[in-house]
Amino acid sequence: MLIKERANQLRRKKNKELIKRVYADLANKRNYGLIDSFYATNIFDHSAFEGQQQGRKGFKKAVTEFLGMFSTLEISTHDIIAEGDMVATREVLLLAKWPRQTSGEC
C-alpha cells in the first residue's frame, strides 16, 4: 500500500507541475507550440467555444484566438488540487485590455 500511495503522490506532483507550466509557459508566454506536447491529439475540451472543433487542432486554434484577444494577460495560480489524473485550479487573470472581438468560429 505504501508503494501505491507514493506512486500516487508522485503522479499528483507531476500533474501539478504540468499545470503550472501550462499557465506560466503556454498562456503567459504564449508558447502555443507546447500544446502539441502537453495535450493528447484527441483532447476533448469540455468548455469548448460554440462551433469549436474537438481534438488538439481545434483546441490549439481556440487557445490561440482566446489569448490573442488580450494585449496583456497574466494568469497566476493560487490553488492547485490534484487527485489521480484530474487537476483543478483557482487562478487570477490580470489583463490590460480586450482590444477586439472574436470571430465566433474556432
Specify the range with the lowest mean pLDDT, choosing from 21-25, 35-39, 90-94.
90-94
**Is the predicted pLDDT of residue 103 greater than 70, yes or no?**
no
Boundaries of every domain in the chain:
2-95
Alpha-carbon gap, residue 52 to 58, rounded angstroms: 6
Residue length of the chain? 106
Q: Give the distance, in angstroms, between the CA of residue 49 and the centroid of all CA atoms in the same chain.
A: 14
**Mean of the pLDDT values across residues 11-36?**
94
Alpha-carbon gap, residue 32 to 65, rounded angstroms: 11
CB 105 within 8 A of CB 58: no
Which segments of 1-106 does DSSP mark as H helices, in order? 2-21, 34-38, 56-68
CB 92 within 8 A of CB 20: no
CATH number of 2-95: 3.10.450.50
Question: To the nearest whole number, what is the mean pLDDT of the chain?
Answer: 89
State the pLDDT at residue 58. Answer: 96
Q: Write down the pTM of the prediction.
A: 0.76
Alpha-carbon gap, residue 76 to 91, rounded angstroms: 5
Residue pLDDT, tens place only, 66-89 = 998 888 889 999 999 998 888 999
